[in-house]
Chains A and B, each alone.
Chain A
Amino acid sequence: MTDVRTDMMQQGREAHSFALGGKGAVEDFWALLKPRVMSLVIFTAICGLLLAPGDIHPWTAFIAILCIAVGAGASGALNMAYDADIDARMGRTAKRPIPRGAIEPGEAYIFGITLSVGSVVVLGLAVNWVAAAFLAFTIFFYAVIYTAFLKRSTPQNIVIGGAAGAFPPMVAWSAVTGSVDMASVSLFLIIFMWTPPHFWALALFRFGDYETAGVPMLPNVAGVDATRRQIWWYSLAMAPVAALPVAAGIAGWVYGVAAFALTAKFIWHAWAVYSLREGEKAERAPKKLFGYSILYLFAMFGSLLVDRAVSLTGLI
């Protein structure tokens, strides 16, 4: 009798757990965190942390970066939970865990909210509450303002929404200083101005996907030529922004020279996108700009680190 009841309870538990989902592998949950985006967040956050004036214990610095990374991953999970319908209709995202059926949207929401709350609370308790509040705002901005409102309603979605991806170095900066300084805004602006040409280059060669999914990206709404023009103007506007860390006093001429060369090449790629309208070269140009843009951001922040290392060691 007892055996039968235990058996029924076991079956009930299993039935319950599988009705709620529970089929996802660890790798599927890892994919919900958008690890490639997270790597960029971690890198830019480390730069913000190292460039900020003041001292921070190495362990506290590690906790700060960990919390920022987990917070970024959490907002990625919330984004995937909300956008599961869109993701299922686009070739680039159809194999994500939720559209594939490996994870239920409800599981992804619980996963995302748990990690969001956990990362903010740990950052607040172990580092400081200014950084924690900033991280909470960043998660809210990406998961609610960008994902739930902007993405489906305006072709300016990634212009405004790009702020979410640009906040991590500022969060890391505030982990050291306990405040939000103007100097850290220069790091924010580099990523903020980079985001539109980066995503519009992607949208130019994937705009069929966005059209199918009903996402109002600039090429679908304003047209391909208007997008090429916008990419060109935003890329030109990146030039003075790239010089801001030098003006703000957080970088020297090593960064200045690297930023000049890197931004000049970005503008050259953007010019190719703008000027080439037909043929194979015109089709390849946005792909080249997109590929280069990823390298560009890593290289810009990498050169900030090299610049800081050079000035600290007194090599030059």
Chain B
Amino acid sequence: MAEDMQTHTPTDEERARQRKRSVVIAWSLVALVILFFVTTVVRMSSNISMQAGG
């Protein structure tokens, strides 16, 4: 089973790249959360002001 698997021990450089990719993905997810949060606030506040105006 183990012999069938393609084994490759990543080099330090490959590990560093993988880590950097993971960090960028994590930050992208954080940015997405902030984006959705602010968008929700903006849309809710504009809906409230429209209702108050109408």
- Taking the closest CB of chain A, its distance from the CB of B9, in whole angstroms, is 7
Cβ contact within 8 Å between B2 and A8: yes
* Cβ contact of B7, chosen from A11, A24, A59, A126, cutoff 8 A: A11
* Cβ contact of A25, chosen from B5, B8, B9, B17, cutoff 8 A: B17
* Cβ contact of A14, chosen from B9, B24, B35, cutoff 8 A: B9
Q: Is the interface of B mostly helix, strand, loop or mixed?
A: helix
What CA separation (Å) do A12 and B5 show in the bound complex? 7
How many A residues are at the interface, by size bracket?
Answer: 20 to 34
Cβ contact within 8 Å between A59 and B38: yes
What CA separation (Å) do A15 and B2 show in the bound complex? 10
Inter-chain contact count A-B, CB under 8 Å? 48
What CA separation (Å) do A11 and B4 show in the bound complex? 13
What CA separation (Å) do A116 and B26 show in the bound complex? 19
Chain B residues within 8 Å of A57, by CB: 42, 46
What CA separation (Å) do A16 and B8 show in the bound complex? 9
* Cβ contact of B6, chosen from A19, A24, A125, cutoff 8 A: A19
B→A interface (CB under 8 Å)? 2, 5-10, 14, 17-18, 20-21, 24, 35, 38-39, 42-43, 46
Additional pairs, 15, CB under 8 Å, beyond known A15-B8, A29-B21: A12-B5, A14-B8, A15-B7, A16-B5, A18-B8, A18-B10, A18-B14, A19-B6, A25-B17, A26-B17, A57-B42, A59-B39, A60-B39, A60-B42, A63-B35
